[in-house]
Amino acid sequence: MDKKFPSKAKLRDVVKNVLSSHLKVSSQEELMRLVSKRLRVENKNFVVSPTRVKRTALEMPEVEVKAKTKKAVKLQKISNCPVCHSKIQPLEVKNLLDRNVLIGYSCTGCKYQSDLEAFMPMKYAFLWKEAKV
C-alpha cells in the first residue's frame, strides 16, 4: 500500500468539514477517525496522525480547541529553541473553565514544537466556533 499524506490545505478543508457538521468532537482520536474516514472516501491511501490533525485544528481560527488536564503542571521554562535558538512561543488553549492552559511550545524560526503530551496525557475537545452564534 502506498501511504499518501494529505496536504495542509486538504487537511484544513476536511477538518472544517467534519467540525462544521459535528460542531463538537470531544477527543483527538475521534477527530482523527472522522477526518481519516472522509479522506479515505477520496483516496483510501490517505493517512493522518492524531497529532497532525490536532495541530491543524489549532491553527484554524474557526476552531476552538479546549484541553482538559487532570492536574495543573508546571512546564520547564524555556525561552529559546533548542534547535535554532530563535524565540519560543507558548502554545495555549482554553480549558473547560475558559482559562488558558499551556499545552506546549513552538518555535518562531523553525518547525520545532514541544508538546506537553510528552509529559502527561491530555484530553482535547474541538469546537466549531460558529456553533455558538
User: In the complex, which residues of this chain contact Zn ion (CB under 5 A)?
Assistant: 81, 83-84, 86, 107, 109-110, 112
- Closest approach, Cβ 82 to Zn ion, in A, equals 8
Secondary structure E strands in 49-98 = 63-68, 88-94
Q: Where are the alpha helices (DSSP H) in 1-133?
A: 8-22, 28-42, 50-59
Smallest distance, Zn ion to C-beta of residue 132, A: 35
Say if CB 51 and CB 59 are below 8 A apart. Answer: no
Task: Say what angle helices 50-59 and 28-42 make with each other, to 10 degrees.
Answer: 100
Nearest distance from C-beta of residue 7 to Zn ion, angstroms: 23
Residue 43 vs 86, nearer CB to Zn ion: 86
Please identify, using beta-carbon distances, which residue of 48 and 91 lies nearer to Zn ion. 91
- Residues 90, 115: contact at Cβ < 8 Å? no
Whose Cβ is closer to Zn ion: residue 69's or residue 106's? 106
C-beta of 55 vs 66, nearer to Zn ion: 55
Tell me the C-alpha distance between 133 and 115, whole Å.
31
Min dist CB 78 to Zn ion, Å, is: 11
